[in-house]
Amino acid sequence: MKPMDYFEISEEIQEAINRKDNKKPVVALESNLITHGLPFPENITTALNMEKNIRDEGAIPATIAILKGKIKVGLSNSEIENLAHSKSAVKASRRDLSAIIFREMDAGTTVALTMWAAHRCKILFFATGGIGGVHRSIEHPTMDISADLTELARTPVVVICSGAKSILDIPSTLEYLETMGVPVFGYQTNEFPAFYSQSSHLKVDYSLRDVLEAAQIINTQLQLKLENGLLIANPVPTEFALGKKKMDHWISKAQEIADKENIKGKQLTPFLLNQIKELSEGRSLKANMELLKHNATIAARIALTYHKMISSRQLKDYLYSILNQYPDLN
């Protein structure tokens, strides 16, 4: 079998990818937030609202998941709902892919696997909540570093997020991204957001003024053929942001509970997020849902601006080629 034989791409997305004159760009969305990131029924409503926000801006959403061993690119509403109800769907990163496909399992895709799948389908833009990173236990032998960071270093996809999850060691995460050559941009901010909070008190590499500047830098990155991802950090909307001091207190309490119960590996992040939701009396969940929807909107706006810019340049190049063929027209 060929690699793409393992994919099922919706007709709408396939047409958008293949047609050069298509006016609608595609924005990828992960499905791990449906299976493991958010509780029911908020997982369904948030996933559908993210898709709606992307369509409202004039782009096409492509939620990616693995269903019965097939990499599905572009889920129907019923498939999203079924995935949200599933008790058997697993959390899948790149390393899990071959086993999950062979066993014909259902899975929610992480940031890393969603990036890989999006790139294979020629989808450039991807909106998510927060990337994984270096866990706070990095000084121990576990060396718990998210595969998201490695994928950003080797897969040319533009990831729009609200920084790294607050439960992580954010300074070490940024250092790791620098080492791996991944540029970190702040969308209309100079500070790297900390998921629920608008700032981690750490600087981004560069601030983006607007969607046009973002599109221009993305184009330059691609022309240089650097072959790595590009991270655009978009802070949680002000009205839903949580204070960093409060968040640090809740995270410390949640980490203490996780240590006592010996929670590690794939179970650690969802466990900590659930504990923080309880400690914050649901405020962290609300912030999570709102930042996801906002990132979908900003991703669609940047994608649309980039798409229009590239289409305009292609038209100009075509006209110049015609003029060069017929010098008398000059």
Provide the CA 1 distance to its chain's centre, in angstroms.
29
Q: Which of 30, 51, 57, 151 is catalytic?
A: 30
Phi, psi of 225 (to 5 degrees): 55, 50
Residue 104 annotated to the active site? no
Cα separation of 196 and 130, whole Å?
9
Cα separation of 160 and 21, whole Å?
25
Contacts of 112 (CB under 8 A, 6+ apart): 93, 94, 132, 146, 147, 148, 150, 151
Cα separation of 6 and 218, whole Å?
29
Q: Which of 24, 165, 277, 293 is catalytic?
A: 165
What pairs with residue 61 in β-bridges? 27
Query: Cα separations (Å) of 53 from 46, 49, 84?
Result: 10, 6, 19
Q: Which of 57, 75, 55, 59 lies closest to 67 in space, CA to CA?
A: 75
The secondary structure of 197-247, three-state, reads: ECCCCCECCEEECCHHHHHHHHHHHHHCCCCCCEEEECCCCHHHCCCHHHH
Residue 139 annotated to the active site? no
Cα separation of 87 and 90, whole Å?
9
What pairs with residue 65 in β-bridges? 72, 108
DSSP percent split of the chain into helix, strand, coil, nearest 5: 50, 15, 30
**What are the structure tokens assigned to 113, written together?**
């696997």
Q: Which of 144, 169, 122 lies closest to 27 in space, CA to CA?
A: 122
Which residues are the active-site residues? Answer: 30, 165
